[in-house]
Structure 1
Amino acid sequence: MTRIAFIGLGIMGSPMAVHLQQGGHQVTGHNLDPSRTQPLVDAGAAAPTIADAVDGAEVVAVMVPDSPDVQDVLLGEHGVFAHAKPGTLVIDFSSIRPDVTVDLAKAAQHKGIRLLDAPVSGGEAGALNGALSIMVGGSEADFAEACPIFDLVGRTVVHVGSNGAGQTVKAANQLIVAANIEALAEAVVFLEAYDVDLTAALDVLGGGLAGSAVLEQKRGNMTSGDFTPGFRIDLHHKDLGIVTSAAREAGVVVPLGGALAQLMAAARANGDGDLDHSALLRGVRRLSGRSLG
């Protein structure tokens, strides 16, 4: 049994924390919105502050939305680095800028704390089913120590390099996912324009080279018009900002990434930020002058 503090109990963090508790670990969670702590309260315990959650923890897991949030959680006056004991392993499951992760790893080292960046892919369904893909940056020894924890929340867990590498791979993941969602959305609107049997069309497309995890998982959202968030457009917008910024810093060209970032920004500007990223379909319909459904 490991004593784990879990900071950030949102759509992803809450089921992940519960899996860790049910896997035999002692988990204490903290969330800015106390109403989100109930699932973990039912399975384990919740703490009113980060300091209380971290007290005595051997591992601290973090799952919050963006780079500034992680910086506040780790570097703040009442944050993890101020209260965690030396030797603590911090696993950051958030998706943030690679350069921020590198700086946080250096700050952790000065405190005698170890840091792994371990962003995840798989959305709410992957978190609920303990089937996330986890791309991990940090030392091989820290990765090996964390594997029993990763195995409780993920199905595909890969050490991809030093600190920051996990976030870089996650950025690439988000580029590919956004491209697939946009292509699927455009195909759906195209098929609808010709009054094709959409269900039959997606069945045959899914069985060929056009098939993808995105088609399989997001077709239901697009055919039903149910965009209850598994992964919000607001968060994917943030991730594409990371892609375009990091690409510019590396001197590489991502023209499709730039276009996707603008389409995601347009979706937010039209009030779709809180919807699932499959709601890019609504943007294609807007551009086509068609009903949003």
Structure 2
Amino acid sequence: MTNIAVIGLGIMGLPMALNLVQAGHTVAGFNRSPERAERLAEAGGRAATSVADALAGAEVVITMVPDSPDVVALAGGDDGIIANAAPGTIWIDASSIRPDVAKQVADEARAAGLRPLDAPVSGGEQGAIDGVLSIMVGGEQSDFDAALPVLQGVGKTIVHVGPSGAGQTVKAANQLIVAVNIQALAEAILFLEAYGVDTEAALAVLGGGLAGSKVLDQKGRKMLDRDFAPGFRLALHNKDLGIVTGAAREAGIVVPLGAHVAQLVGSTVAKGDGGLDHSGLFKLTLAAAGRE
């Protein structure tokens, strides 16, 4: 058993915390919306009243918040992680943020005696619920080895990919691949519907061939049903694609498909659909074809 603090109990953070409780760990959770922490308490965890309260006695802290400024804010200040975590505490940041910010925060945390890891996840809400997330981890090898038993409580594919910031770089690549796949799937379903094909049968056979993917498996049904209840919100994918395009520019490389899909996602968010699941990109594809 490990004493764990989980900060950020949203769509991803809460099921991760619940799985850690089920795995036998002692889990305290803090969230700005207290009802999420209450759900954790109902399942056997503890609802903390602040970041500092959650960190009391914690050996490991996991953060899952929306963006780079949120992580920076959590790191600093009198109520922050650096000020309140005991020396030697492993800090696993599972948020998806800019690689340069991840490295900067890790350097500050390490200087304060903490053991930081950037460990963004992939697999969406269902992957978090099922405890089968893919986790790409940046940081020191020894810290990764120490954190692995905890990570195994929430993930299935867990890989150390390099030094601090490397996990976020791999996550950015992940989001690039996912976004392009979602757009390709949206166009394929539009194409099938235009010809009156049995779309369920079509997706079944496509899923069994080279066109098959987790995106097709998880997002195809949502597009067919026009059900865009969020598993991963378009607003967050828009943020992630901003990370991709910005980092590509800094590296002096081009990502033509990624840049194009980033504009499509940005347009969908600008239309007021940022709260939809990222499969809601299908709405823009339909509108472009006059099939809203």
TM-score class, shorter: over 0.9
The CA RMSD over aligned residues, in Å, is: 0.8
Q: Within 2, Cα distance between the matches of 1:275 and 1:74? A: 29
Deviations 1:168-207 (A, max 9, x none): 0000000000011000001111111111111121122112
**Shift in Å, 1:75:** 1.5
Name the counterpart of 1:48: 49
Partner of 1:133: 134
The match for 2:286 is 285
Specify every segment of 5 or more residues in structure 2 that has no aligned partner in the other structure, as ranges.
Answer: none
Instruction: Give distance in 1, aligned partners of 2:51 and 2:69.
Output: 16
Q: What is the aligned partner in structure 1 of residue 207 from structure 2?
A: 206
Secondary structure at the aligned position of 1:90 is classed as strand
Counterparts of 1:154 and 1:113 in 2: how far apart (Å)?
23
The code of the aligned residue for 1:91 comes to: I
Partner in structure 1 of residue 32 of structure 2 = 32
Residue 240 (structure 2) aligns with: 239
Distance 2:282 2:271 in 1: 13
Number of residue pairs the alignment of both structures matches = 291
- TM-score, length-normalised on structure 1? 0.98
Q: Which amino acid aligns with 2:173?
A: A
SS of 2:257's partner is helix
Q: Tell me the SS of whatever aligns to 1:267.
A: helix
Alpha-carbon distance between aligned partners in 2 of 1:256 and 1:12, rounded to the nearest angstrom? 28
Provide the residue aligned with 2:262 in structure 1.
Answer: 261
* Aligned partner letter, 2:14: S
Which amino acid in the other structure matches residue 95 of structure 1?
S
Amino acid at match of 1:189: L
Distance 2:185 2:174 in 1: 17
Q: For residue 116 of structure 2, what is the aligned residue in structure 1?
A: 115
**What is the TM-score normalised by the length of structure 2?**
0.98
- Aligned residue type for 1:267: T
Once the two structures are superposed, what CA deviation does each residue of 1:222-241 show, in whole Å capped at 9, x if it has no partner? Answer: 11111111101011000000
Q: Deviations over 1:200-255 (max 9, x none)?
A: 21122112111111111111101111111110101100000000011111111101
Letter in 1 for 2:89: T
Cα shift readout 1:13-46 (whole Å, capped 9, x = no counterpart) = 0010111112111111100111211221112101
Q: Trace 1:1-293 onto structure 2 (pairs within 5 A).
A: 1-42=1-42, 43-291=44-292
Distance 1:251 1:182 in 2: 25
In structure 2, the residue corresponding to 1:257 is in which secondary structure?
A: helix
List per-residue Cα deviations over 1:86-136 (Å, max 9, x = no partner).
111100000000000000011012211110000000000000000000000
3-state SS in 2 of match to 1:115: strand
Distance of 1:20 and 1:119 partners within structure 2: 17
SS at match of 2:272: coil
Give the residue type in structure 1 aligned to 2:26. Q
> Matched residues in 2 for 1:203 and 1:4: separation?
41
Quick one: which amino acid aligns to residue 82 of structure 1? Answer: A
Deviant stretches of 4+, over 4 Å: none
Identity of aligned residues (%): 62
- Measure, in 2, the Cα distance between the counterparts of 1:137 and 1:208: 33
Name the CA distance, whole Å, in 1 between partners of 2:159 and 2:215.
Answer: 21
Deviation at 1:157, TM superposition (A): 0.4
Match for 2:244: what amino acid?
V
